[in-house]
Amino acid sequence: MNAAKVLAVTVLAGSVSIGLALFGERWLQVGDQDAESLRHGPYYGTLDSLPDLRLPTLEGRELSGSSWAGKVVLLNFWATWCPPCLREIPLLDEWQQRYGNQGLQVVGIAIDRAEEIARFLEDNAVSYPILLGNRDSVELSRELGNRTGGLPFTVGFDPLGRRIFSHTGEIDASLLESEVRPLLLGVN
């Protein structure tokens, strides 16, 4: 067998092993629990309330999670090199513009270099704050339910700061309609 075939077989075997390990871990942890208990159970992270995070904006101003008290908050962890992250930003921006005056606050936490974020935002302005994430932010996303550390990762909180959902991967309007919109009806 030549070196290219050995490498290809090794990569394939490694990928299958990792996939099985992740599936097996979830299967062993989840057992026979129903979907509702999964969303709010320990599988989805240990932190169940809006953290008092303190992160800088691109301009260097520090924002704190306490400044969004009483609002429905969506924390969206993303990066400029992540295509699904970039696809969902227009939807998040649309929701911020449409429902911001009804108590919604979208907050982007960029896990990326400041220069890349600034370059992206020059061409793609958003109406919600973008904070500069760091290694602690990656750990925070895990505590909020992002077990694999994947991006994008979005977590929602009700006006009392309680976590209502965690979602790894690209979000869509149906998720926001089912999880977020009902909370906005009771805010004001």
State pLDDT tens for residues 128-158: 999 999 999 999 999 999 999 999 999 999 9
| HSE of 1, CA atoms in CB hemisphere, 13 A | 8
∠ CA 15-19-21 to the nearest 5 degrees? 115
Assigned domain for 63 exists: yes
Mean pLDDT across the stretch 23-41? 40
Question: Where do the DSSP E strands lie in the chain?
Answer: 54-56, 62-64, 72-78, 104-110, 130-132, 153-157, 163-168
pLDDT confidence of residue 71: 97
Domain limits for position 8: 3-32
In a shared domain, residues 10 and 68: no
pLDDT confidence of residue 34: 39
pLDDT confidence of residue 12: 55
Distance between CA atoms of residues 108 and 120, nearest Å: 13
Q: Is the predicted pLDDT of residue 9 greater than 60, yes or no?
A: no
In a shared domain, residues 96 and 20: no
Distance between CA atoms of residues 22 and 11, nearest Å: 17
CATH number at residue 143: 3.40.30.10
Assigned domain for 178 exists: yes
In a shared domain, residues 18 and 69: no
pLDDT confidence of residue 188: 52
pLDDT confidence of residue 1: 66
Q: Is the predicted pLDDT of residue 168 greater than 60, yes or no?
A: yes
Question: Is the sign of the CA dihedral 33, 36, 39, 40 positive or negative?
Answer: negative
Residue 63: strand, helix, or coil: strand
Give the count of domains, the chain. Answer: 2
CB 84 within 8 A of CB 169: yes
Distance between CA atoms of residues 170 and 149, nearest Å: 14
- Cβ atoms within 10 Å of 134's Cβ, excluding its own: 13
Assigned domain for 38 exists: no
pLDDT band at 2 (very low <50, low <70, confident <90, very high): confident
pLDDT confidence of residue 23: 46
Distance between CA atoms of residues 10 and 98, nearest Å: 50
| HSE of 179, CA atoms in CB hemisphere, 13 A | 23
CB 108 within 8 A of CB 126: yes
Greatest extent of the chain over all pairs of C-alpha atoms, in Å = 68
| Separation of first and last alpha carbons in the chain | 68
Assigned domain for 39 exists: no
In a shared domain, residues 170 and 77: yes
pLDDT confidence of residue 28: 36
Q: What is the pLDDT of residues 69-117, one digit of tens each?
A: 999 999 999 999 999 999 999 999 999 999 999 999 999 999 999 999 9
pLDDT confidence of residue 16: 44
